[in-house]
Structure 1
């Protein structure tokens, strides 16, 4: 993805036209590697909770689709309600302490689920409250770590490598997490599986404490800024930039439909198709191999297809996957195979597109705006997911689970039109700054 040698403003050529040496591999960056381990441990635990938490509601409290949608809403609504405010605050402070305390809170709240269950004190409203608390801490962590990566990775040319490594870890957690969760739920109980999640957050806290790189304090403000003004500045940056705006709106729609489908799928698989927790864990784990494969080939895909083409193809694959779930039928091996194929497409497309999207966002956003940009994006992405759960529950209550899955699949496939028209699809290479974007 080299630029023309005469373009000094691109950062890929010096004033004399000589190519600068390539950045050193992040395998030699100790602090990034330690951070990567901490983030990986956190992701593994989160993937276990993503299956064990709703299964706790389904198997312990026998919830219906509306109640399960509300549980997902409680977990994701903090991104819609608090992400922007947290983004302003994160831009004012150092990020690592925020990440540490966010994971401490998640460790405690997740650990309360098995304790309350075995003490026979766990109730459904309490589960909603714990899900909301975990979601709130997740907002703080997510807004912080995405803003912290450019602090560890000084050379922006290394951001694609950094996000590829982080995304590979996410994909491997997607592969292992659901299978581990399904096994733990089957062997013990859904609440007991949450203890493994709490333990992973404890290990993540320890690894983050081992990062040595000093994080500079944010630059002092020459004048007092009001919260409203800083919120508006962050929103103007995201919605005023047509690349960020396109990424955010497509991502919001993506999470809306995928969360709707995933929430309905659990009930559909357990009640209509009578699949066990272990089988559901196998479906999600086997499908997540697509994410690992996507992470491994994402760099090659971008080099071969260009940034824009890779974005269009990978995101289109995500939106086509949900159609396979209501279409699945026949003998059990075929049913499970089609379920795996549906989520395989989702994980595969997400793994490639996430590397492109996060690298593009970090490349074109100034560091003083990084927290607010990330917060605005998380608000859009997880806000869509928060709404997808309850909307799916209402649809299932009116139409039934199978018909609601068909509606979600068809509407998801219709998103191919805005994807094809997206300006992101016209980018040939990854910019290293806002000045490199096309006019």
Structure 2
């Protein structure tokens, strides 16, 4: 039996008749979505409060702050692939429940230890590392779990649009709320809110009714090394996934570097308060919500490839505005907001597109390992960005390091323009498309 492709790379064949079913009628997806919304809003509080705990309570420098970010993200580099193999063997929801219970406890320990004067910087690193391990488990699982709730793969774009819109709204509200909580109650106590949101997420996962099929038992004994190799071959052997992973790794490396340096630069060099930093991040995150709202329309009008090139290019151009910001304080704040607005907008549009493409072209039995390999690349890059940024700041100063990061980021436009993802006209219709067009 032979197959042929259309101009978009899609296999010409029978497709489901009629439009895909609306997810507004999918009760369990809506429950999952609500739980994710709670946890995402809470996570935004910790994203600001955790590094501010290190800065305001322990008065850390750029190198130590970079190490804190490294502790949060390094589990993705070391454990994502192994967890991906494991997740492909079992049902995902119990793993997600355990991961969020662990994050609830670990985040909740920060204010408790601080209250009893038991919190130390090494202990803060250890808690951040534990949260990172639990985050690996959850992230590797949830992207593989969404196709269980969304049976029609044509609805995955809608599902990821909704989830990304929630992330963007959390990006808007979260930093402002976090800044207010930090100012009112101190950075450690602000994280109490995140512990409660993880509890809400756990309850939502318990409420889901859709049965999750147990993965088929293997015909022969499984070997970890062979399954790891199979997942890596799938990702690096597919030209679209390979390009997405390598560009994403570079993106997270540079953005994590910029964000770690920015926090110190804003608080110490520019003398901005925690509330002002929260306002900047919250105002900038409007770009993420805007990107989530228009992503579907943009893909339909511009094509998949053009949308990818434009949205990812916007992300990489944003960091240049931070070191370039000069003049009166209001103008500096406006340029800071503009920089992160570009990052949020570009990330929101590209994430909807990229996650939908990954889920569409990957067979279900490889979904966990594909997600794990991607998480290893993306968050592994982010894990290295923090300490490298700290070393750069030690050599060139905060302002000089931000200029270096911004210029390297702009150079990334070259591989984006050459990426094979940028040549896609339409979204593939399933795994078979990828197998045909990647040969």
TM bucket normalised to smaller? over 0.9
SS at match of 1:431: coil
Distance of 1:420 and 1:66 partners within structure 2: 34
- Structure 1 residues 13 and 102, CA gap change in structure 2 (3 angstroms): closer
Aligned to 2:322: 325
Aligned to 1:132: 129
Distance of 1:311 and 1:344 partners within structure 2: 17
Deviation at 1:77, TM superposition (A): 0.1
Query: Aligned residues, how many?
Result: 431
Distance of 1:367 and 1:420 partners within structure 2: 30
- Structure 1 residues 189 and 12, CA gap change in structure 2 (3 angstroms): farther
**1:48 and 2:66 are equivalent in the alignment:** no
**1:141 and 2:146 are equivalent in the alignment:** no
Deviation at 1:306, TM superposition (A): 0.2
Deviation at 1:435, TM superposition (A): 2.7
Aligned to 2:307: 310
Aligned to 1:180: 177
Q: Map of 1:33-182 to 2, 5 A cutoff?
A: 33-182=30-179
Distance of 1:290 and 1:138 partners within structure 2: 25
SS at match of 2:345: helix
Aligned to 2:254: 257
SS at match of 1:88: helix
Aligned to 2:419: 422
Q: Is this contact kept in 2: 1:311–1:425, CA < 8 A?
A: yes
Deviation at 1:12, TM superposition (A): 5.9
Aligned to 2:192: 195
Aligned to 1:411: 408
Aligned to 2:201: 204
Q: Is this contact kept in 2: 1:10–1:432, CA < 8 A?
A: no
Deviation at 1:388, TM superposition (A): 0.1
SS at match of 1:400: helix
SS at match of 1:264: helix
Deviations 1:325-380 (A, max 9, x none): 00001111101000000000000000000001000000000000000000000000
Q: Is this contact kept in 2: 1:11–1:432, CA < 8 A?
A: no
Q: Is this contact kept in 1: 2:11–2:429, CA < 8 A?
A: no
Deviation at 1:9, TM superposition (A): 4.4
Q: Is this contact kept in 2: 1:44–1:173, CA < 8 A?
A: yes
Aligned to 1:17: none
Q: Map of 1:227-376 to 2, 5 A cutoff?
A: 227-376=224-373
SS at match of 2:191: helix
Any gaps of 5 or more consecutive residues in structure 1?
15-19
Distance of 2:153 and 2:187 partners within structure 1: 42
SS at match of 1:62: coil
- Structure 1 residues 403 and 275, CA gap change in structure 2 (3 angstroms): same
Any gaps of 5 or more consecutive residues in structure 2?
none
Deviation at 1:10, TM superposition (A): 4.1
Distance of 1:161 and 1:188 partners within structure 2: 39
Distance of 1:264 and 1:278 partners within structure 2: 18
- Structure 1 residues 148 and 68, CA gap change in structure 2 (3 angstroms): same
Deviations 1:49-74 (A, max 9, x none): 11100000000000000000000000
Distance of 1:87 and 1:375 partners within structure 2: 5
Distance of 1:147 and 1:45 partners within structure 2: 23
Deviation at 1:13, TM superposition (A): 4.2
Deviation at 1:436, TM superposition (A): 2.4
**1:377 and 2:377 are equivalent in the alignment:** no
Distance of 2:260 and 2:99 partners within structure 1: 26
Q: Is this contact kept in 1: 2:160–2:352, CA < 8 A?
A: yes
**1:223 and 2:229 are equivalent in the alignment:** no
Could you tell me the TM-score, scaled by structure 2's length? 0.96
Distance of 1:243 and 1:82 partners within structure 2: 24
Deviation at 1:40, TM superposition (A): 1.1
